[in-house]
Structure 1
Amino acid sequence: MSAAPIHLSRNGAVATVTLARPEVRNAFDAATIAALHAAFIELGAAPQVRVVVLAADGPAFSAGADLNWMREMAGYSDAENRDDGLKLARMLRAIADCPKPVIARVQGDAFAGGVGLVAACDLAVALQSARFCLSEVKLGLIPATIAPHVLRAMGPRAAQRYSLTAEVFDAATARQTGLIHEVATDAAALDAQVQQWCAALLAASPQALAAAKRLLADVAHRPLNEALLADTAVRIAEARSSAEGREGIAAFLAKRKPSWAQPS
């Protein structure tokens, strides 16, 4: 029996999903994709979980697709390849659409689909030594399923450069493009940044965080017209009249912590 491709753990309201195939640089295959998809659907629905951290074992974060899996796919029919690609796309969407904030703890290299995993997360911090590469074109492939997330994270110009050239870039460049938000000098600093973000997220309203994620995804690139103005007005009205909205305002006025705030 093969080992589980991911590990799940929880510390209070923070759940950690750890890629657990260090022997293949955490490259993913069908089993890994299915496990990640199921984990993020489950954690998204778990009321006791408020933040999710995506981490990895070993020296690499993720090398993208497993070579043995890719070799197997060479014999797939067109319909089988489309179905397989859709499973990967749905897994990435499960991460991006998770109602809980998702933090990528990038302790090593992220190549190809590994970049997609980082881009699908809400926040990302990487070790200074981590390297990144959209390497698909070197294999005669394209970064198709990860493209929506990479474009959202890096912007079209940076995504265009690195998707076409397949250049390897460092953590500082990844931060400049927006793929990651912070660079850590060592493992201790990496964990400190994750903990800092967790503390900030646990101090926020879970309902508001989920609504803010939906808002940002829905309004991105929409024209600033009356329809968008009306949409945002409805959303703020719903937030103000919600139970957590009322509690947040009451706590602010009373100069106390809201009911959802976790101890720091």
Structure 2
Amino acid sequence: MLQSYETLRQTGIATVRAQIRSGGYASHTAGLGRNLLQANLAIIPQEFALDFMRFCQRNPKPCPLIGASDTGNPILFTLGQDIDIRTDVPAYNIYRNGQLVQSVTEIGDLWTDDLVAFALGCSFTFEHALIEAGFELWHIANNVTVPMYRSSLETVPAGPFRGPTVVSMRMIPEERVEEAVAISARFPLAHGSPVHVGDPAAIGISDLSAPDWGDSVPQPAGHTPVFWACGVTPQAVIQQAALPLLITHKPGHMLITDVPDTAEIPIITNKNMPR
């Protein structure tokens, strides 16, 4: 039975994941999986995996690495008891030689024995804490995708991976900016504190109404644009590297893990181990 976004916001992760796995839900995951760590996704051939891991280590704000699969194994057992990376993301983007070729809702027919999946923390996690503190996040309240922009903040390169940091933006009441910074800083696995507050031109963004990904949001008076490092960054740098194959989540359509959003590192237990 298909369930709406509003219904899924009130349900547990087992129901949410079952809907995603069955193809019954293929939209964004902001607001879903309450108190659980959400993750960006990058799946690449094994020959590039070590350089990509180095890239994540050198750029922890946009690329907080929370999990990686064994080569050829689609089960991310370190992030949950039953997570199959081939089916458990609402929508995937498929890139070949740096070009987006299609978007799909499952990748079973694309999975091969030489692929490695990386999961990276997502800002949707700290959004739960902001909402609990009384912040109204327009994109969640209006069921759209958070706006994301290429910035002029350069990442530290590793192998073929290099390029600008992608940032996500939320309009925050001026008198509560410091509070939002402090709240998000508690979640280093979800990008942590902002990378910039205020004038978007200072980080190379000329028009807030024209995001590179996601949807435009209002810019009400008395609010300040606040920018967090975004997990679309690795997608952008891998795309720029023009790998023969890259599989990512569709921006805004995340993997919801079983890891509590307050965890400092993913929790691995014997019950999660593959048998």
TM-score normalised to the size of structure 1? 0.26
Larger Rg: 1
The answer to which structure, 1 or 2, has the higher relative contact order (CA under 8 A, 6+ apart) is 2
Q: Which TM-score applies when normalising by structure 2? A: 0.25
